[in-house]
Structure 1
Amino acid sequence: MKQFDFFAGKQLSGKQVSRRQLLAGTAALGSVFAAAGLTGCGGTASAAAVRDIAFWHLLSGGDGIKMQAMISAANAANPGFKVHPTVLAWGPPYYTKLAMASAGGRPPELAIMHASRVPGYAPGGLIDPWDMSLLAEHGVTAESFAPRIWDKSQHDGQVFSIALDSHPFVMFYNTDVAGKAGVLASNGQLQVVTSPQDFLAMAREMQKVTQAHGLSFGYLGSGSQMWRLFYTLYKQHGADMELTPGQPMKVDRDAAVESLEFMASLFDDTVAAKSGDIGTGIAEFARGGSGMLFSGIWELPTFKKAELPVDAATIPTLYGTPASYADSHSFVLPRQLNVDDGKRRDVYKFVSDMLKGSLSWAEAGHIPAYQPIVQSQAYRELTPQVHYANAADIIAYDPEAWFSGSGSDWQTYFAENVQNVLLGRDKAADGWDAFVRRTNTLLSRPNPV
């Protein structure tokens, strides 16, 4: 009797069906059933339809825990997809891997990028622009963001990043120390100071209470830490900084030198310790060894956990123009060789859910970028977060260049030229001029990505 090959649609002319043919045929038949939406006993079509979304980010520690909780909540609310996060090391390793993945055609569907790093990636086609009409389907529009944050999301007229937050460099202060030093205002918050001299005087009053230092600010080995304070002070001069490829750096040299001179004046072993790294500075403040700390808002959970009597505010405006260095954790779409429309729509829904669930992100200290959260009563009840929420209106993002931004080598070059200024070994003008020369070398080179 002749046998019929169901899969080839022909007879086998009396030949026996081999084991390999049988297995291949069975697999093909299973594919036919799956395509038709049929499953075996106990299976469901919906389970097979769940789409996997790869998501890269660089958030660890307390931020990482918060992020995972937000991802889990979004996954639970959206049974049609599941977001799988991959956490990579902060700084150059992360951005290098993200660029290589996009260039090599194997990127994740979604990634976190600091807004300040977008100008180095958008021109080279490593990230795709966002379709705001798709986000609008989920109630997210340009009006959902503070003006400065929204402006930063764009490059050459297209939206390349959707900010989750802004995370400014702020001033924490110990309310017990400040109260004993007599520098609290009637509202229980720190007195307003408007000049470098007034700030130094306030710090010295706090030092009399702590018998150690008035201010903690660790900086050794951290270009990011040095740059955050410098750029805050520089922008408070009302000064701009332009980094145009092929042209020398445009900068207000006097404002830059004055900012560095003030920073160096802090490290006299009374106002602040002559030297110390970030960890040393945070530990000193946490144990009550100083009255104030300059640091990022991401340190707030540490002080809350330690039950420190802490409040916070934007860094005092010492040179006339309110300004606060900040960056934003932003969602970007790594360039896909072949866009899966279903997954791409899932990504838009996921991002909208993350924005709408960012009150929990605010609890970790960050200022949500999504304005309905900031304007909610629940956010207004968060202290000290509400006391520095105005930072979103005075954000000073890094000057745009392919080499600038959070965790960049440019900030490392800043440290190489400025650290000795803060240690009292070099003059501020000499350190600054050396940094300008290094920057001009970078400006003479093309964007490698």
Structure 2
Amino acid sequence: MKTKVRTSGGMPGPWPSRGQGRFPRRSGSSGTVDDVGLSRRGLLQAALVGAGGIALGGALSGCATPAASGSGRTSVMIWDLFSGGDGALMQEMVGAVAQANSDISVDSTTLAWGAPYYTKLAMASSGGRPPEAAVMHMSRLAGYAPGGLLEPFDLDALAELGITQDDFAPAVWEKAQFDGQLYALPLDTHPYIAFNNPAIAGDAGLLDADGLLSIAPGADAFLDAGRAMAEVTGETGVSWGYLRDPAGCWRMFWGLYSQNGGAYDLTPGKPAEIDEQAATEVFEFLQAMVDGKVAATNQDGGAASGRFMSNRTGLMFAGEWDLPMFRDAIPDVGGTPFPTIFGQPANYADSHSFVLPKQAHADPAKREATYRVLAGLLKEGLTWASAGHIPAYQPVVKTPEYQELTPQRDYAPAAEVAVFDPDAWFTGGGSDFQTRMGDSMTDTLSGKASPKTAVDRMLSEMNRFLSQPSPA
């Protein structure tokens, strides 16, 4: 196994849509890319897709796939966006898979995530010289699959390696589809969940007989629970930092909006449609929560985490990828899916997945080896779960070893009610869309503007994106 680190990065059910369909294709588009060269127009399209349609950002050149080594082993290059602890775990998994497949040389390359990563991946795919496989947030799939930047997976080939649809949560499998084919192979589900301090939650009477956080459904019940924890701490009950964290704002809003039954229509060239009443109710709840008693006002993510880890709040809204940090401070930290504030359970989530970038001249031996490597990585999911991620490959979740992991086993059901970013070429993890959506909410969350102001600003930003033609 060879490991290259280009730059340091970080990371960190089907959504009802009206009139859009999944990943709509523009009229007159063939959905393919040229197999030779990279035209100026193609270069610009790839750059726009990778950067979320706003700016290039980062290096534009891609890494050429290396030839098979002189040892006779088949070379497989994989790009990923994992650094820090996640990066170390991924390299451990790659090493295990490489050891189990001595006829394959795995070349694992890490690049910075966000616009630079996705720009580089789009450029490499457009040029026909990408890696054999790459990691992609599944929320970015809508910007890649429709334009022919990716190739679909062969379900029969995956089945021969023990990977089938039945091995994944339906919501996750559905999100991995485009045009009736599988374009992403999910590695995990990483949801936005509720961590808790069992000592504080227990003193507030919010733990069930199994020691799990138990809050009755409904906004009023949650606010009451927050006040009960505030009585225990003498300060506030809930940690949530929204200042300078637009992605966190978006995750919170979109999950709650889904719980409230909100639908959307983001059709390019048409005005955006969302359920304005449902969205307004979400902001009314958030304003009630950020009242200085349930949750602190004007707080950023660092302050929120600090308060939680220093026993000054009993509950923290965060991504499950923060588990290692919280467990260092609170060894018995608990975790559960996002509380049901509105009518139906739903949990905002994304998914790290493997994709097959478009190859100008596909090599059957490399493709067969790539499938073996990716299937092996999915089956190493227990290692990946140690960082907090929920393995997408459910046979791992069902193992006794995984069921001994706490609190991972307790919030694993979040994958069953996962909701992802809306399907549009400009949405997804690390996109400018998330940033602009979060920025639209800040004044309202700070109490400086009404809930309607946030809704109006979000619609205005959505319309700005929709007025731009999709590069794909």
| 8 Å contact kept, 1:171–1:295 | yes
Distance 2:69 2:189 in 1: 38
1:426 aligns with 2:433: no
Deviation at 1:305, TM superposition (A): 2.8
Report the aligned-residue RMSD.
1.6
Deviation at 1:276, TM superposition (A): 2.5
Secondary structure class of the residue paired with 1:53: strand
Alignment match, 2:223 = 200
> Do the aligned partners of residues 136 and 420 (structure 1) sit closer, same or farther apart at CA in structure 2, a change above 3 Å counting?
same
Deviation at 1:235, TM superposition (A): 0.7
Distance 1:331 1:200 in 2: 39
Alignment match, 1:382 = 405
Q: Kindly provide the amino acid, as one letter, of the partner of residue 206 in structure 1.
A: M
Deviation at 1:307, TM superposition (A): 4.2
1:252 aligns with 2:282: no
Alignment match, 1:304 = 327
Q: Paired residue for 1:211, among 225, 231, 234?
A: 234
Q: Which moved more, 1:163-172 or 1:257-266?
A: 257-266
1:85 aligns with 2:108: yes
Q: Paired residue for 1:408, among 428, 431, 449?
A: 431
Distance 1:288 1:61 in 2: 26
Per-residue CA deviation, residues 111-145 of structure 1 (Å, 9 max, x unaligned), is 01111110110111111111112112211122221
Distance 2:438 2:131 in 1: 33
Distance 2:167 2:70 in 1: 34
Alignment match, 1:5 = none
Per-residue CA deviation, residues 284-310 of structure 1 (Å, 9 max, x unaligned), is 212212100001111111222334331
Distance 1:279 1:85 in 2: 32
Distance 1:304 1:222 in 2: 22
Alignment match, 2:199 = 176
> Do the aligned partners of residues 182 and 244 (structure 1) sit closer, same or farther apart at CA in structure 2, a change above 3 Å counting?
same
Alignment match, 2:4 = none
Q: Kindly provide the amino acid, as one letter, of the partner of residue 269 in structure 1.
A: G
| 8 Å contact kept, 1:58–1:112 | yes
Deviation at 1:264, TM superposition (A): 2.2
Alignment match, 1:42 = none
**How does 1:26-65 map onto structure 2 within 5 Å?**
48-65=71-88
Secondary structure class of the residue paired with 2:317: strand
Deviation at 1:328, TM superposition (A): 0.8
Per-residue CA deviation, residues 421-441 of structure 1 (Å, 9 max, x unaligned), is 111111110121121022112
Q: Kindly provide the amino acid, as one letter, of the partner of residue 364 in structure 1.
A: A
Distance 1:381 1:189 in 2: 15
Alignment match, 1:417 = 440
Q: Paired residue for 2:94, among 57, 71, 76?
A: 71
Alignment match, 2:53 = none
| 8 Å contact kept, 1:176–1:309 | no
> Do the aligned partners of residues 441 and 327 (structure 1) sit closer, same or farther apart at CA in structure 2, a change above 3 Å counting?
same
Secondary structure class of the residue paired with 2:354: strand
CA radius of gyration, larger in? 1
Deviation at 1:46, TM superposition (A): 9.1
**How does 1:217-232 map onto structure 2 within 5 Å?**
217-232=240-255
1:153 aligns with 2:165: no
| 8 Å contact kept, 2:215–2:222 | no
Secondary structure class of the residue paired with 2:202: helix
Distance 2:414 2:132 in 1: 31
Distance 2:116 2:242 in 1: 21
Alignment match, 2:310 = 287
Q: Kindly provide the amino acid, as one letter, of the partner of residue 165 in structure 1.
A: D
Q: Give structure 2 stretches of 5+ with no counterpart.
A: 1-67
1:106 aligns with 2:116: no
The alignment's TM-score, normalised by the length of structure 2, stands at 0.83
Alignment match, 1:32 = none
Distance 2:174 2:354 in 1: 15
| 8 Å contact kept, 2:145–2:183 | yes
| 8 Å contact kept, 1:237–1:320 | yes
Q: Kindly provide the amino acid, as one letter, of the partner of residue 217 in structure 2.
A: T
Alignment match, 2:458 = 435
Moved over 4 A (4+): none
Q: Kindly provide the amino acid, as one letter, of the partner of residue 166 in structure 2.
A: E
Alignment match, 1:241 = 264
1:318 aligns with 2:318: no
Distance 1:447 1:46 in 2: 39
The alignment's TM-score, normalised by the length of structure 1, stands at 0.87
Per-residue CA deviation, residues 337-388 of structure 1 (Å, 9 max, x unaligned), is 1112211111100010011110111222111111211222222222111111
Give the percent of matched residue pairs that are identical in Structure 1 and Structure 2.
46
1:266 aligns with 2:314: no
| 8 Å contact kept, 1:286–1:308 | no
Deviation at 1:47, TM superposition (A): 6.0
> Do the aligned partners of residues 339 and 222 (structure 1) sit closer, same or farther apart at CA in structure 2, a change above 3 Å counting?
same
Per-residue CA deviation, residues 152-186 of structure 1 (Å, 9 max, x unaligned), is 11101111000011111100000011122222223
Q: Kindly provide the amino acid, as one letter, of the partner of residue 432 in structure 2.
A: D
